[in-house]
Chains A and B, each alone.
Chain A
Amino acid sequence: MSQGLRTSSGGRINRARAVRFTFDGRELSGFEGDTLASALLANGVHLVGRSFKYHRPRGLLTAGAEEPNALVAIRRDAARVTPNLRATEVELYEGLEAHSQNRWPSLKFDAGAINSLLSPFIPAGFYYKTFMWPRRAWHRLYEPRIRAAAGLGLAPEHPDPDSYSNRFAHCDVLVVGAGPAGLAAAQTAAASGARVILCDEQPELGGSLLGEADPGASLGENGRDWLTGTIRALLANPRVTVLTRTTAFGYFPHNLIGLEQRLSEHLAQPDPRQPRERQWQVRARQVVLATGAIERPLVFPGNDRPGVMLAGAVRTYLNRYGVLAGRRAVLVTTHDEAYRSALDLRRAGAAVTIVDARESASGELAEVARTAGLTVHTGTTVIGTHGRLRVKSVRIQRLDAQGRAQGAPERIDCDLVLMSGGYTPSVHLFSQSRGKVAWSEALQAFLPGESPEKVRCAGACRGVFSAAAARRDGESAAALAARDCGHAVNIAIGEPQPVQGAGAAAPGDLPQPGGNPPAKAFVDWQNDVTSRDLLLAAREGFRSIEHVKRYTTTGMATDQGKTSNLNALAIVARQLGKSIPEVGLTTFRMPYTPVTFGSFAGYTRGELFDPIRTTPIHDWAARQGAVFEDVGLWKRARYFPRNGESMHAAVARECEAVRRGCGLFDASTLGKIEVVGKDAVTFMNRLYVNGWTNLAVGRCRYGILLRDDGFIYDDGVVARIAEDRFHVTTTTGGAARVLAMMEDFLQTEWPDLSVWLTSTSEQWSVIALQGPRARQVLEGLVEGVDLSSTALPHMGVAPGKICGVPMRLFRVSFTGELGFEINVPADYGLAVWEAIHAAGEPHGITPYGTESMHVLRAEKGFIIVGQDTDGTVTPDDAGLAWAIGKQKPDFVGKRALERPAMHSPERKQLVGLLTAQPHVVLMEGAQIVADARAIPPSRPIGHVTSSYYSATLGRSIALALVRAGRSRMGQTLYVPMPDGALAVQVTSPVFYDPKGSRLDA
């Protein structure tokens, strides 16, 4: 395939290196240095996509990041398919495989184009108006159809095999954009000694200069030398980091800028070990934005046909890529600057006719054009274009003195239409910095004003359009930035140059015959919004531009309206009879261009997504075949199946072992906090509900911690190790927040208390040995502790040694059986566990997991904070009022407990439930009602919080929170389920050994 539109010489492509690629399976060839867009154009491919709503044929509109039409999918393999890439930014590599999107069955014949014929019936807000009723049809009928017909691109079907990198960086001056202003800014800041990061989305430095035939020439005196010298100096300077292929996508508070660096997208064979992209978070002391400007399309009927392009883009394709986009061109413009494109095309051998909507064109460039023999139709508008898959002609009409289209339309045959309605400064990042923009009547543009951040704008992004002036503007901005970082600046700091208006033109649409809003005059190419849609929205009463945007979807596509927003705003403003600044601008949000999700995840995926916490006994449990569950970040052994047992069978066996012999449980995940100091008891008294003054050294107590609103926050056994030392345990998941709450009160409310708090959760391994034979197992292993009930009664604690290792031995029970919790330094946890296990084998010792632990504690009616409580449960609700120290004048939560609502007899209280059918296990979370015949929705009076099958009792048991539950003992309530209501009897929450006689069995 020949590159028919390629010029014979010129451009920045490497003509010695041909690059083969495919587009929708068609084999084509371009050159090294091409983008996919320029290579397609060189091959005469103007048709690159179908539009979103009407499926209209679409071609390249631009040559840059603002491209709304040429969205393609690039496929490397089944897992590496990237949709919605702008062909104007995709660098060509050998073997590149590109696919067009949003067409079926093929790009040239697209069945969805029927929507175009139906377009009179698909006005703005069509979806809102049509698919509102009936509601049921939305899910079954409308939504699936709309989803099938809409959507841009397809997501890959496999997990992303690539890796993504993250990096933090700091610098004095971050310069965004490497055009004339950005290069000058980076060089000036670097010369002052500042640490500089310069980033640009393109593969090469130069920005807009890359679209010039002679990039240095437009920079003024010594421009060529300055350009090459500056780029060389920046690349050689060790204090300057130059990042190409890097988009500054977001501006976050305190001068944090997100950069997305594409590392391997342009390579034919990326090294699989190399990250695909790197996301930088740059904290810059000063920022200089040199983000340039985006050329505005003109709004006229048929302005979306393939072959209708922005004038500057045509010039870039010619000068940078050596592609002559057409041989018979029509330039439609409203300002002088676009004449450069006509002149360049003419020099390359194309015939160009100029249609200028202004009454007269008398600028220097217009004169040059006339002298060069170009026909210039001033005071003329475009009323239509023709050509199915490529533009073939335009129809023009004269405007009278009042700007109305009059007279006989004229047709001009062509194969290319250039259009330019001026330039829109790219204030996206500035606006994201919470900077305010101000409307410039002279420039017909929103320009950056004040920002709370340390940011300056330079060059075209603040209306300084000419390259030479932008260069000086960049120098001034950077000199001020460097000075504000404390660097000596050697150049005279000029005041920022006044903004200049070359190329300024009013946004909006071109006049049409009869003043009627034209059909198919597109404003937003990507979302298929026409000027008529905008006028309709205004007529239907939408006044706020934010509402118009949402109603018509203008500016809401993946390009975020880069080419369309200002035109839309001008059209709406005119219809509302307001000025543009009165109507206001919609909000700019990050990202500037779409950013790969993977780069936000970075390294934190798979095993690195979250830390995994394991106990010292974890590997032993894993070797025993334990099934683990996640509790917070912890892995906890849930049960230990033997010989293919089900969980049900394993739990029944484990529970029986604890009730009849002895069981071994890894409780190391319990939170532990050491509270130490001469005021430790005062601190505990103020914080926990219990009284601690009378707790003797060597004794434990079940502690309850409330929030100051009176609701249970955490619980756990607290041991008094010494007069000034408490060993506090917390729930597994609550350790961090309990310590944070303790620190909060200690640091901010009671800084006078002499107390130190230390997290010891990971310092102690906790081995729970539970069951009637526990003492016998332990006897031979411990030194210095008398295990008898008289010396170490229930809720006693004693220091000692086990297997020669220092130990804190707790006589506590979360099972209701005789039990010990052996605390040893974590490094010895596994050794001690194994020693206990070996010593217990003659007694049938059985390791058990969290599932059995839950069943055993539920049989005893012991609550789990967070399961049987939900942040609205008081100690009394949970049946724990006995724990409250009645003599204490205050503790956290005490005052709130005195509020009347806390004493309402209608509060939910913890009760037990027994199902009428003993083998039916209720669902946790199920609602409870009083009347089985009540027709839903009936008001529930409670819910099930814990529910298990108890092998010990030979039936199911459940805990529940029920309104006035304790007054309902013996009542029958109902749990409605899909198959009918289940009858349950209200009982005490203690199902097993209510007298507690087994603690000393």
Chain B
Amino acid sequence: MLLINCPYCGERPELEFVHGGQAHIARPGNPAECSDQQWADYLYRRDNIKGVHAERWRHTHGCGRFFNALRDTTSDLFLATYKVGERPPAQSQQKRATA
């Protein structure tokens, strides 16, 4: 069970959260101008990253807010969590200290 740092509430166990899929996929501003392929990409195409992945979480059983997170899919460690509308923080290559 992950320990997730809600930007509004602090660290809480994963069972208070719902995963919301890949982050930073904006709904096209004028859907009528999208081609069918562009709309299909928006609906269905997602990355499957081995490494640092930007994803959405919602603190459903807490403040109810959506937020974004950078998580390393190989270690499950979070590099950062940040609010909707904010840019993802620059990724530090520093590893978390473990002996």
Contact = CB atoms under 8 A, between A and B. Distances in A.
Interface of A: 252-256, 281, 283, 434, 450-456, 477, 480, 484, 496, 708-709, 740, 743-744, 747-749, 751, 889-890, 894-896, 899-900
B84 A747 contact: yes
Contact of B43 (A281, A480, A744, A896): A896
B9 interface: no
A254 B31 contact: no
B1 A889 contact: no
B98 A450 contact: yes
- 10 nearest A-B residue pairs (beta carbon): A452-B75, A895-B31, A254-B3, A253-B76, A747-B66, A456-B99, A256-B1, A895-B39, A749-B27, A254-B2
A434 B42 CA distance: 34
Contacts of A748: 56, 66, 84
B89 interface: no
B98 A452 contact: yes
Contact of B3 (A283, A456, A740): A283
Given A450-B98, A452-B75, A253 B1 contact: yes
Contacts of A709: 43
Contact of B77 (A452, A480, A743): A452
B85 interface: yes
Given A748-B84, A749-B27, A708 B43 contact: yes
Nearest to A287: B98
B98 A454 contact: yes
A451 B98 contact: yes
Contacts of B39: 895-896, 899
A899 B84 contact: no
A890 B3 contact: no
A895 B39 CA distance: 8
A747 B43 contact: no
A992 B43 CA distance: 40
B32 interface: yes
A900 B39 CA distance: 13
B58 interface: yes
Nearest to B84: A748
Interface string B2-30: 11000000000100001010000011001
Interface string B64-79: 1110000010111100
Contact of B85 (A254, A256, A450, A751): A751
B39 to A, nearest CB: 5
A283 B1 CA distance: 10
B36 interface: yes
Nearest to A481: B99
A708 B3 CA distance: 31
A740 B21 CA distance: 14
A751 B13 CA distance: 27
Which of the listed residues A256, A283, A450, A748 has the most CB atoms from chain B within 10 Å of its own CB?
A: A748
Nearest to A455: B98
Query: Secondary structure at chain B's binding surface: helix, strand, loop or mixed?
Result: loop
A265 to B, nearest CB: 27
B98 A453 contact: yes
Given A747-B84, A894-B31, A899 B36 contact: yes
A480 B32 contact: no
A454 B99 CA distance: 8
A256 B32 contact: no
A223 to B, nearest CB: 27
A896 B39 CA distance: 7
A252 B72 CA distance: 15
B88 to A, nearest CB: 15
A760 to B, nearest CB: 15
A859 to B, nearest CB: 37
Given A254-B1, A748-B84, A895 B96 contact: no
A452 B96 contact: yes
Contacts of A749: 26-27
Contacts of A896: 39, 43
Nearest to B18: A740
B84 A751 contact: yes
Contacts of A740: 18, 58, 60
Which of the listed residues A452, A456, A749 has the most CB atoms from chain B within 10 Å of its own CB?
A: A452
A298 to B, nearest CB: 34
B93 to A, nearest CB: 14
A895 B98 contact: no
Nearest to B23: A748
A867 B43 CA distance: 25
A254 B76 contact: yes
Contacts of A899: 36, 39-40
A858 B15 CA distance: 40
A708 B1 contact: no
Which of the listed residues A484, A747, A889 has the most CB atoms from chain B within 10 Å of its own CB?
A: A747
B97 interface: yes
B76 to A, nearest CB: 4
B51 to A, nearest CB: 13
Given A708-B42, A744-B20, A895-B32, 10 more contacts: A254-B1, A434-B76, A496-B99, A743-B66, A751-B84, A890-B31, A890-B32, A896-B43, A899-B39, A900-B36
Contacts of B98: 450-456
A906 to B, nearest CB: 18
A256 B3 contact: yes
A252 B1 contact: yes
21 contacts: A254-B1, A254-B77, A434-B76, A452-B72, A452-B77, A452-B98, A453-B98, A454-B96, A454-B97, A456-B99, A484-B97, A708-B27, A708-B43, A743-B58, A743-B66, A744-B20, A744-B66, A749-B26, A890-B31, A895-B34, A899-B39
Nearest to B66: A747
Contacts of A455: 98
Contacts of A496: 99
Contacts of B26: 749
A890 B97 CA distance: 49
B31 to A, nearest CB: 4
A454 B3 CA distance: 13
Contacts of A480: 99
A790 B50 CA distance: 65
B75 to A, nearest CB: 3
A743 B62 CA distance: 14
Contacts of B85: 751
B12 to A, nearest CB: 11
A477 B30 CA distance: 58
A434 B74 CA distance: 9
Contacts of B66: 743-744, 747-748
A890 B31 CA distance: 7
B64 A434 contact: no
A455 to B, nearest CB: 7
Given A254-B2, A740-B58, A434 B75 contact: yes
